Structure 1
């Protein structure tokens, strides 16, 4: 079962919430340990609520690495609840993945869902990233979601076209015909 956390962790008096979906504890090791859906591309503002929300289930986060592609500013250090999280960046790391490290507990890899994502897309990604033992990487999950979004868009376009071309049965008056539930006989 997937654990979805929406915890309040005040930062600078703002009371932001970290939107997380974590892989449940299991003997199945996967590519990702869950997903995080930040509200912005401001790592300095987004990291404190994330680290605070993970303190209880994972322990104190001490280091984070990101790919700078999606983060306009990557600070070297971010103060979090009485300690400092050191931030590093690597262009070799997938842009949609964040690595979190703890001196005492270990390493976790999170899919980072773009802040501008629609809630339905974010929910699909959060669920997919938290499947125990999944071999899907951040890149594969993001590519799959892009394909799903294209399919949804094409489906909506086909439906709109169908309706605009008279796909629904219409009377000469332009009002959709309703089936009465009875069949007319050939003599009527």
Structure 2
């Protein structure tokens, strides 16, 4: 067998060498190396397509007479030709809380409770007032030791308490808590600008 670069038609995109011994075109003895869709009535509804394999000349002839819209009604053809065809499917909305929303449970069956258990553990508790908290906001609340439902007054009070606890002026000049103090200050500065505390 000659190497592919020496074979005629080796350079054509879509060529699958050795895919079929014979071209599916009636009476052709060439090898079938180019894939074509099955005829409409031969495909089972839930099965993968059984491709037909043609030689280069016959796949060209098949492609020149192929009609994607064959068998469609006028309404189906117009729907397929719309600029936004295929975009009307529902897609998952972007999450506002920094985490994906759990799936809609009525869309599928979860008999082992595998997926819902995962989301019960992973989904953060929302605020009672419905205001969004990002993942960074939640980490900052943990730094300050506050719950997700803390309000602006509680945030300010806790910040003041922690600054007094860690500031060197209140610890006789002890600077060993400066790193912790800086984390508290940074967390407070971010949280006070967050939508949940605005």
> What's the TM-score once normalised by structure 1's chain length?
0.21
Structure ranking higher in strand proportion = 1
> What's the TM-score once normalised by structure 2's chain length?
0.20
The higher radius of gyration belongs to: 2
Q: Relative contact order (C-alpha < 8 Å, sep 6+): which is higher? A: 1
Structure ranking higher in helix proportion = 2
